[in-house]
Amino acid sequence: MSQPPFDPSIPVLTEVLKDSTESVRKIPPPTVDHGEQLEELALKQWSDQDWHMLERRLSERILHQLQGRVDFVLEQRIKDCMAEALERALEDFTGALRSGLQDTIEQIVTRAVSQELTHLQTLKK
């Protein structure tokens, strides 16, 4: 296999990587001063539309972050409220059942005593 002739106008990979790493080194890392400069630039150059877009995007991001927390807290509150409501309903149901059962037993005993007394009186005659 023959290799194509070398074209010096096309950079080789090491030259491309060297150039890109040098350009990265030229970008200063963000600092407080950099943040202040960005803020100052924004205050000077941003339109009302730019500010509204930033506000909307920040609101969406914050709402998205809070949604997971809100869902968890809401689910926990619903569970707690449901448990409390079910416990009260069970207590009320148990009380009503106990009262109804007590009335039924009293009626059965009263009827049984009455029938036994009637039976004893018929035997006495």
Sorted by sequence, the CB contacts under 8 Å of residue 54 that are 6+ apart come out as 46
Sorted by sequence, the CB contacts under 8 Å of residue 50 that are 6+ apart come out as 42
Which is higher by pLDDT, 106 or 70?
106
Alpha carbon distance, N-terminus to C-terminus of the chain? 135
Global model pTM greater than 0.75: no
Which is higher by pLDDT, 95 or 18?
95
The pair of three-digit structure tokens given for residue 102, joined into one six-digit string? 């007590």
125 in helix, strand or coil? coil
The Cβ of residue 84 has, within 10 Å, a number of other Cβ atoms equal to 10
- The mean pLDDT of 105-110, rounded to a whole number, is 96
- The mean pLDDT of 5-9, rounded to a whole number, is 67
- The mean pLDDT of 74-79, rounded to a whole number, is 93
Q: What one-character-per-residue DSSP string does 67-95 give?
A: HHHHHHHHHHHHHHHHHHHHHHHHHHHHH
Average pLDDT, the chain: 84
- Measured CA to CA, the distance from residue 117 to residue 110 in angstroms comes to 11
Assess whether pLDDT exceeds 90 at residue 95.
yes
